[in-house]
């Protein structure tokens, strides 16, 4: 055992590791790909994939043309959820603009709007929503209902007891009143980027780990240095470790930089154990390096390796739960997502950083991630060893 450790940690092994570090850092494209793409991807995904819907294009048909109707329109546009894009003379013109995609929503205020308000009668205001994107339409409906509720409160404070009603709503009088006071746990500010960015970290680790490791191994085989290593007195185990360790160390630095960006730029808290997140990130990186190494043993050029990874990384990303919760997927697809290491890393990162969970809660995900890492590492080492022999 001591002899084996002395062989693995001896001067020959250190020389091989130094050679790999120099070779990777000498390639400027490969060195830049360790820093620039992950940072840009994290920033772009974090800002561009914001699920918050704002500045929806709103069209207005105001048949009332009174101060009360203008106040309602002003309140809808001042909420920053809607942006006024024009006033139309008829419902047909408004519907045409919705059909053309120039408007996301429309509000139709009836002729007797102000009169019914002053008399304390219920008023019906029609809201038209472009439901081509059902998620956006649902969010816009919630925004409109919130504006109407706020407007009702303002009317009550002014002594006007009218209220808005839905079309075809049943006329039922309730004697009691239920007041809802929601409490937002773990994310009281309802920051939408926390969920996405904490899940995207696993996607970046797998994506960049697989791409960089595949490119490094294929390029070395193209220039012929891999055959030179086989002629050296180094053993196969030493060559494999010397190949994987520098990539793992440099990618770990990339992961640390991504974690710093998450906290500094997006303000994601670290309520739990940071070492748990870093340990899971290291396992996720090993999964990505193993996938890239395994694919590199079957390909003959860097372009062929990238094309092959195109059929691996997108399915892993889609089933990762990084962008949408796994619970929102079809039921038959949810068990498939459990075989994705990114999904388990997302559970660990979100649980540890946002909720403050520890190993006592996250051990099933950590154990599953460890199992995936061992299987992928052993499979890639077996293929790499077979190729060397």
CA dist., res. 319 & res. 340, Å (int): 7
Q: Is the whole model's pTM more than 0.75, yes or no? A: no
E strands in the chain? 56-62, 82-87, 105-109, 126-129
The burial of 39, by beta-carbon neighbours within 10 Å (0-12 exposed, 13-18 middle, 19 or more buried), is given as middle
pLDDT attached to residue 371: 95
CA dist., res. 89 & res. 286, Å (int): 63
pLDDT attached to residue 168: 43
Please provide the average confidence, as pLDDT, over all residues in the chain: 79
Q: Is the distance from CB of 85 to CB of 102 less than 8 angstroms?
A: yes
Average pLDDT rounded to a whole number, residues 136-142:
79
Provide the β-strand partners of residue 64.
none
Q: Is the distance from CB of 344 to CB of 316 less than 8 angstroms?
A: no
Largest pairwise CA distance in the chain: 97
213: nearest Cα among 45, 381, 16: 381
pLDDT tens string 339-377: 999 999 999 998 888 888 889 889 999 999 999 999 998
pLDDT attached to residue 284: 92
How far is residue 187 from each of residues 7, 94, 191, 264, measured CA to CA in Å? 51, 39, 7, 17
pLDDT attached to residue 169: 40
User: Where do the domains of the chain lie?
Assistant: 13-49+192-388, 56-157
pLDDT attached to residue 4: 60
For β-strands 56-62 and 105-109, DSSP reports them as parallel
Estimate the share of the chain in helix, then strand, then coil, as percent rounded to the nearest 5: 65, 5, 30
pLDDT tens string 185-232: 677 777 778 888 888 888 888 988 888 888 888 877 777 666 666 666
DSSP one-letter string for 223-274: HTHHHHHHTSS--HHHHHHHHHHHHHHHHHHHHHHHHHHHHHHS-----S-H
Q: Is the distance from CB of 370 to CB of 295 less than 8 angstroms?
A: no
Tokens read off for 41: 């991807």
* H or E element that contains 18: helix 11-26
CA dist., res. 62 & res. 88, Å (int): 8
More confident position, 165 or 37:
37
Backbone angles phi, psi at 143, to 5 degrees: -60, -45
Q: Is the distance from CB of 155 to CB of 117 less than 8 angstroms?
A: yes
Q: Is the distance from CB of 115 to CB of 126 less than 8 angstroms?
A: no
Tokens read off for 6: 């002395």
Give the number of other CB atoms < 10 A from CB of residue 2. 6
Tokens read off for 213: 């490791």
CA dist., res. 352 & res. 346, Å (int): 10
Angle among Cα 362, 316, 203 to the nearest 5 degrees reads: 65
**Second CATH level (architecture) for the domain 56-157:** 3-Layer(aba) Sandwich (3.40)
Average pLDDT rounded to a whole number, residues 130-157:
75
């Amino acid at each position: 055992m001591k002899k084996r450790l002395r062989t693995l940690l001896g001067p020959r092994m250190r020389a091989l590791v130094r050679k790999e570090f120099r070779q990777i850092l000498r390639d400027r494209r490969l060195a830049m790909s360790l820093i620039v793409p992950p940072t840009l991807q994290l920033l772009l995904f974090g800002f561009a994939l914001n699920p918050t819907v704002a500045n929806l294009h709103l069209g207005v048909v105001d048949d009332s043309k009174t101060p009360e109707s203008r106040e309602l329109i002003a309140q809808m546009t001042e909420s920053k959820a809607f942006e006024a894009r024009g006033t139309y003379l008829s419902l047909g013109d408004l519907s045409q603009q919705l059909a053309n995609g120039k408007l996301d929503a429309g509000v139709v205020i009836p002729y007797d709007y102000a009169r019914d308000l002053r008399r304390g009668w219920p008023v019906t205001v029609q809201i038209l929503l472009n439901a081509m994107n059902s998620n956006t339409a649902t969010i816009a409906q919630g925004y409109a209902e919130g504006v109407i509720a706020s407007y009702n409160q303002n009317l009550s404070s002014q002594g006007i007891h009218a209220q808005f009603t839905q079309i075809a709503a049943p006329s039922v009088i309730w004697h009691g009143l239920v007041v809802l006071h929601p409490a937002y746990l773990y994310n009281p500010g309802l920051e939408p980027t926390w969920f996405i960015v904490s899940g995207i970290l696993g996607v970046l680790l797998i994506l960049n780990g697989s791409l960089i490791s595949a490119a490094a191994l294929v390029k070395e085989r193209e220039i012929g240095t891999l055959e030179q290593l086989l002629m050296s007195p180094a053993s196969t185990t030493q060559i494999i470790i010397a190949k994987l360790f520098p990539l793992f160390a440099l990618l770990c630095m990339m992961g640390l930089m991504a974690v710093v960006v998450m906290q500094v730029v997006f303000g994601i808290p670290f309520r739990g154990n940071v070492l748990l997140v870093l340990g899971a990130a290291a396992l996720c990186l090993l999964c990505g390096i193993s996938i890239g190494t395994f694919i590199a043993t079957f390909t003959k050029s860097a372009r062929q390796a990238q094309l092959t990874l195109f059929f691996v990384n997108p399915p892993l990303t889609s089933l990762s739960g990084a962008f949408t919760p796994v619970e929102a997927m079809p039921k038959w697809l949810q068990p498939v997502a459990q075989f994705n290491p990114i999904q388990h890393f997302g559970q660990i990162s979100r649980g540890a950083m946002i909720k403050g969970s520890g190993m006592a809660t996250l051990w099933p995900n950590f154990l599953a991630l460890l199992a995936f890492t061992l299987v992928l590492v052993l499979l890639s080492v077996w293929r790499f060893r077979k190729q060397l022999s």
